[in-house]
């Protein structure tokens, strides 16, 4: 049977002995939704989730990572207002040296951009403790975001378990107009599919329109597949991919990856690129899409180019083309955080950086920065246009700011006009568009980009430290600062529970709502007792106080649709667990958060009848009757509200996940010999 590209890579990586329910006779498609176990070739971590991941990895007790390649990046916590961030950096560097990982130093850039440039390989699997790990799909990888504990298990050689996704095909035809960016393609997909449309699915892009896009453009699209709730997204690996890898000095890593002729998709979406115009995701969710034409003329106070979505050389070049010879409008503050040091160096050698500085952009560090509320917060009630991927309320650091997610082209147009403007209505020269749309630096069509200096910059790996030899690694001492506390154990499993509803929340609660990021909270990522004080504060400032008053007794949380969307941060499970949350009952969950809840022993349940959500009020008591038999037998969960009304909740928890819950979380399960 003809297979999709995603299925081909999955089939090559599946661990048959860990998937007893799957029939592996040749050509058999894997049933959607079935628990699959994947061999993981590469892992990545970043510092904000990495410390917990490596604290867990240390407890596994193996001398060296067992993957083909693992990289520890420092990109999130680089503000360093006191000792905590740098203590974490030193801990992570020492762990990398001891256990055989590459270490990407602070300043080297955002993990996803750097991984694409330096390490990703078509046809391989990548698991990362960051939800935007699917960026790697831009070069034909199955790249999946997960909680740190799952990544720790993969570094120890364990398989990654997930339900087999549906495969949605996205056929792109035609060519983007000048002034319209790859961001507009993914915003169009978000407009059609919504932030929960991709739950349990992989988006696979193909067609002549896909072939026309450069690797960084493809990566913008696969990156923001995370906002669809997708497991991952993928493009074929073709001649463009080859040129990109050659430009980065890695031609040898290229392999062709494509779907079989006639592959069937679970759903087909078609987009004619030539018909697209600029779009914006409006406050406060990535799927609230409007056209820039509709917003045209609206005043803008801030513009930021950056984040793992849109901070490549292509992006900086698009911006430079629009702002060259102009100046940032007087009412606007504008900043650029290039995605990597390599990008920054290339932009500098190609003369692009000079154009940006001349226009008046403030040059920010190559790191996550403003995307995660670490500096460059907008003014009160500000209107900020960002090339990022998330605009949840308050994430920018300013609670009442209005964050719009746009392409670099739209951001650049607004920066110089001071209002929402369609870049396609402006007159400007875009040398790369004119010469074949930024095909690749090695094509030599754009003289600025193909110069020897730029290529040398592309291949500079000066800020990556390679793994130490095993015999030298033995002697490395792990450096632990005073803010690094061990991960607390999960609460012990109980076969029946009676739980007060400590919070009832609405739809689309994000992990930023459950455990905020930002300059104040992020330094506490290695210290669960301290960070837990911020649990759910975005939704209810009294949550911690009320938990304390209840002596951190067992309780539950009730939510609406798509609970836990956004980040992979397991702190959004760890914080609640530490304060006593034993179950979360919702209309539906986001994939990574649901897995994190299970890993930390919290039972995720969904209402069989979504209308039952209305039968529960905050403060009610829910009795979870005989959970034990539901988990052992896979039967529906029974929940009694205030000793009176019984409702049924769906039990879609795979057998292995049920065993994890009964063992008291993934760490305990692994220690007891589970795999
Ligand atoms: C994010 O974009 O929300 C983050 C910060 O990168 C998170 C990871 C984290 O919370 O550390 C993510 O996307 O997984
Ligand atoms: Fe960093 Fe923002 Fe990307 Fe998360 S989404 S990895 S915070 S740049």
For residue 464, tell me if it sits in a domain.
no
For residue 244, tell me if it sits in a domain.
yes
Taking the CA of residue 372 as reference, the ligand 1 atom at the shortest distance is 5
Last residue of a domain, one of 239, 274, 309: 274
How remote is the CA of residue 421 from the centroid of ligand 1, in Å? 30
For residue 15, tell me if it sits in a domain.
yes
Is any ligand 1 atom within 6 A of the Cβ of residue 567? yes
Name the closest ligand to CA 337.
2
How remote is the CA of residue 308 from the centroid of ligand 2, in Å? 6
Which band of pLDDT confidence, cut at 50, 70 and 90, is reported for residue 445? low
Question: Based on the domain organization, do 299 and 261 belong to the same domain?
Answer: no
Question: Based on the domain organization, do 568 and 451 belong to the same domain?
Answer: no
Find the domain containing 188 and state its range. Answer: 5-274
CATH for 651: 3.20.19.10
Question: Based on the domain organization, do 218 and 290 belong to the same domain?
Answer: no
How remote is the CA of residue 203 from the centroid of ligand 1, in Å? 21
* Probe target for ligand 1 pocket from 76, 79, 521, 572, with the most ligand atoms within 8 Å of CB: 76
Which band of pLDDT confidence, cut at 50, 70 and 90, is reported for residue 437? very low
Question: Based on the domain organization, do 110 and 233 belong to the same domain?
Answer: yes
For residue 226, tell me if it sits in a domain.
yes
Question: Based on the domain organization, do 207 and 193 belong to the same domain?
Answer: yes
Cα distance between residue 506 and residue 618, in whole Å: 12
Question: Based on the domain organization, do 358 and 225 belong to the same domain?
Answer: no
* Token pair recorded at residue 119: 């390490």
Q: Which tens digit of pLDDT belongs to each residue from 271-284?
A: 999 999 999 999 99
For residue 472, tell me if it sits in a domain.
no
* Probe target for ligand 2 pocket from 44, 76, 339, 568, with the most ligand atoms within 8 Å of CB: 76
How much is the pLDDT for 673? Answer: 85
* Probe target for ligand 2 pocket from 45, 110, 112, with the most ligand atoms within 8 Å of CB: 110
Is any ligand 1 atom within 6 A of the Cβ of residue 513? no
CA-closest residue to ligand 1 atom 3: 567
Is any ligand 1 atom within 6 A of the Cβ of residue 517? yes
Is any ligand 1 atom within 6 A of the Cβ of residue 583? no
Look-up of token digits 């449309």: 197
How remote is the CA of residue 96 from the centroid of ligand 1, in Å? 21
Question: Based on the domain organization, do 269 and 282 belong to the same domain?
Answer: no
How remote is the CA of residue 151 from the centroid of ligand 2, in Å? 18
Q: Which tens digit of pLDDT belongs to each residue from 252-268?
A: 999 999 999 999 999 99
Taking the CA of residue 75 as reference, the ligand 2 atom at the shortest distance is 1
Structural domains of the chain, count: 3
Is any ligand 1 atom within 6 A of the Cβ of residue 48? yes
Q: Which tens digit of pLDDT belongs to each residue from 186-241?
A: 999 999 999 999 999 999 999 999 999 999 999 999 999 999 999 999 999 999 99
Residue 405 β-bridge partners: 281, 386
Question: Based on the domain organization, do 348 and 207 belong to the same domain?
Answer: no
| Mean pLDDT within 133-143 | 98
How remote is the CA of residue 257 from the centroid of ligand 1, in Å? 29
Omega of the bond leading into 284 within 30 degrees of 0 (cis): yes
Question: Based on the domain organization, do 16 and 123 belong to the same domain?
Answer: yes
Pick from 332-341, 483-492, 541-550, 601-610: least confident = 483-492
CATH for 415: 3.30.499.10
Is any ligand 1 atom within 6 A of the Cβ of residue 309? no
How remote is the CA of residue 269 from the centroid of ligand 2, in Å? 27
For residue 466, tell me if it sits in a domain.
no
Question: Based on the domain organization, do 357 and 401 belong to the same domain?
Answer: yes
Please choose, from the candidates 40, 163, 158, the residue with its C-alpha nearest in 3D space to the C-alpha of residue 592.
Answer: 163
Q: Which helix (H) or strand (E) holds 268?
A: strand 267-272
For residue 309, tell me if it sits in a domain.
yes
For residue 490, tell me if it sits in a domain.
no
pLDDT at 392 over 90: yes
Q: Report the percent of the chain where pLDDT is more than 90.
A: 91
How remote is the CA of residue 372 from the centroid of ligand 1, in Å? 8
Question: Based on the domain organization, do 251 and 293 belong to the same domain?
Answer: no
pLDDT at 432 over 70: no
Pocket residues for ligand 2 (CB within 6 Å)?
76, 110, 130, 132, 307-308, 368, 371-372, 389
Q: Which tens digit of pLDDT belongs to each residue from 370-384?
A: 999 999 999 999 999
Which band of pLDDT confidence, cut at 50, 70 and 90, is reported for residue 12? very high
Which band of pLDDT confidence, cut at 50, 70 and 90, is reported for residue 453? confident
Last residue of a domain, one of 411, 427, 458: 458
Please choose, from the candidates 396, 234, 428, 431, the residue with its C-alpha nearest in 3D space to the C-alpha of residue 303.
Answer: 396
- For residue 653, give Cα distances in angstroms to 33, 135, 143, 484, 604: 11, 28, 23, 33, 8
Q: Are 657 and 162 in contact (CB under 8 A)?
A: no
pLDDT at 434 over 70: no
Question: Based on the domain organization, do 389 and 504 belong to the same domain?
Answer: no
pLDDT at 439 over 50: no
Cα distance between residue 526 and residue 50, in whole Å: 9
In the predicted model, what is the mean pLDDT of the chain? 95
State how beta strands 102-104 and 464-465 pair. antiparallel
Please choose, from the candidates 504, 507, 505, 497, the residue with its C-alpha nearest in 3D space to the C-alpha of residue 640.
Answer: 497
Is any ligand 1 atom within 6 A of the Cβ of residue 395? no
Taking the CA of residue 130 as reference, the ligand 1 atom at the shortest distance is 14
How much is the pLDDT for 454? Answer: 86
Last residue of a domain, one of 274, 296, 317: 274
Buried/exposed 58-80: b ≥16 CB within 10 Å, e otherwise: beeeeebbebebbbbbbbbbbbe
How remote is the CA of residue 298 from the centroid of ligand 2, in Å? 27
- 337 in helix, strand or coil? coil
| Mean pLDDT within 328-354 | 95
């Amino acid at each position: 049977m003809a297979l999709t590209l995603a299925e081909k890579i999955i089939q090559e990586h599946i661990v048959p002995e860990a998937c007893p329910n799957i029939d592996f006779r040749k050509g058999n498609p894997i049933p959607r939704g079935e628990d699959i176990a994947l061999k993981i070739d590469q892992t990545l971590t970043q510092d904000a989730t990495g410390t917990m991941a490596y604290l867990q990895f240390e407890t596994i007790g193996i001398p060296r990572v067992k993957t083909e390649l693992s990289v520890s990046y420092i990109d999130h916590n680089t503000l360093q207002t006191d000792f905590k961030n740098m203590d974490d950096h030193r801990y992570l560097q020492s762990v990398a040296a001891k256990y055989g990982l590459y270490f990407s130093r602070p300043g080297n850039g955002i993990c996803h951009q750097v991984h694409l440039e330096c390490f990703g390989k078509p046809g391989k699997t990548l698991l990362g403790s960051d939800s935007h790990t699917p960026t790697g799909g831009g070069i034909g990888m199955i790249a999946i975001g997960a909680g740190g504990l799952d990544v720790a298990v993969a570094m120890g050689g364990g398989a990654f378990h997930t339900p087999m996704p549906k495969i949605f095909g996205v056929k792109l035809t035609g060519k983007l107009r000048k002034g319209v960016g790859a961001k507009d393609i993914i915003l169009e997909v978000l407009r059609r599919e919504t932030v929960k449309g991709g739950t349990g699915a992989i988006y696979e892009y193909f067609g002549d329109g896909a072939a026309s896009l450069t690797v960084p453009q493809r990566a913008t699209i696969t990156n923001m597949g995370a906002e669809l709730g997708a497991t991952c997204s993928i493009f074929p690996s073709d001649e463009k991919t080859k040129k990109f890898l050659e430009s980065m000095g890695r031609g040898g890593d290229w392999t062709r990856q494509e779907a079989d002729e006639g592959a069937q998709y679970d759903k087909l979406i078609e987009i004619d690129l030539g018909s697209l115009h600029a779009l914006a995701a409006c406050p406060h969710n990535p799927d609230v899409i409007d056209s820039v034409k509709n917003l045209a003329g609206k005043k803008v106070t801030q513009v930021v180019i950056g984040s793992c979505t849109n901070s490549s050389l292509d992006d900086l070049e698009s911006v430079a083309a629009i702002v060259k010879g102009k100046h940032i409008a007087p009412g606007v503050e504008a900043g650029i955080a290039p995605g990597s040091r390599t990008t920054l160096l290339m932009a500098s050698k190609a003369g692009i950086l000079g154009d940006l500085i001349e226009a008046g952009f403030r040059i920010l560090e190559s790191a996550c920065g403003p995307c995660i509320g670490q500096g460059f917060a907008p003014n009160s009630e500000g209107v900020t246009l960002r090339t990022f991927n998330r605009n949840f309320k308050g994430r920018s650091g300013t609670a009442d700011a209005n964050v719009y997610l746009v392409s670099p082209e739209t951001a650049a147009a607004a920066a110089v006009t001071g209002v929402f403007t369609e870049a396609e209505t402006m007159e400007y020269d875009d040398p790369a568009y004119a010469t074949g749309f930024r095909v690749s630096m090695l094509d030599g069509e754009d003289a600025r980009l193909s110069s020897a200096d730029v290529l040398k910059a592309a291949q500079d790996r000066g800020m990556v430290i390679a793994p130490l030899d095993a015999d030298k690694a033995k002697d490395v001492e792990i450096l632990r600062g005073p803010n690094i506390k061990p991960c607390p154990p999960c609460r012990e499993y109980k076969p029946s529970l009676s739980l007060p509803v400590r919070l009832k929340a609405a739809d689309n609660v994000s992990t930023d709502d459950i455990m905020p990021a930002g300059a104040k909270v992020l330094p506490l990522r290695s210290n669960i007792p301290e960070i837990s004080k911020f649990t759910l504060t975005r939704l209810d400032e009294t949550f911690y106080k009320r938990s304390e008053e209840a002596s951190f007794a067992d309780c539950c949380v009730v939510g609406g649709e798509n609970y836990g969307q956004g980040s992979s941060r397991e702190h959004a499970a760890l914080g609640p667990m530490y304060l006593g949350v034993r179950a979360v009952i919702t209309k539906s969950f986001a994939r990574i958060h649901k897995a994190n809840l299970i890993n930390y022993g919290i039972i995720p349940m969904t209402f069989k009848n979504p209308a039952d959500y209305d039968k529960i009020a905050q403060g009610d008591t829910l009795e979870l009757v005989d959970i034990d038999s539901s988990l052992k037998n896979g039967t529906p969960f029974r929940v009694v509200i205030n000793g009176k009304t019984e409702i049924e909740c769906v039990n879609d928890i795979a057998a292995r996940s049920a065993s994890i819950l009964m063992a008291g979380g993934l760490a305990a399960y692994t220690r007891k010999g589970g795999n």
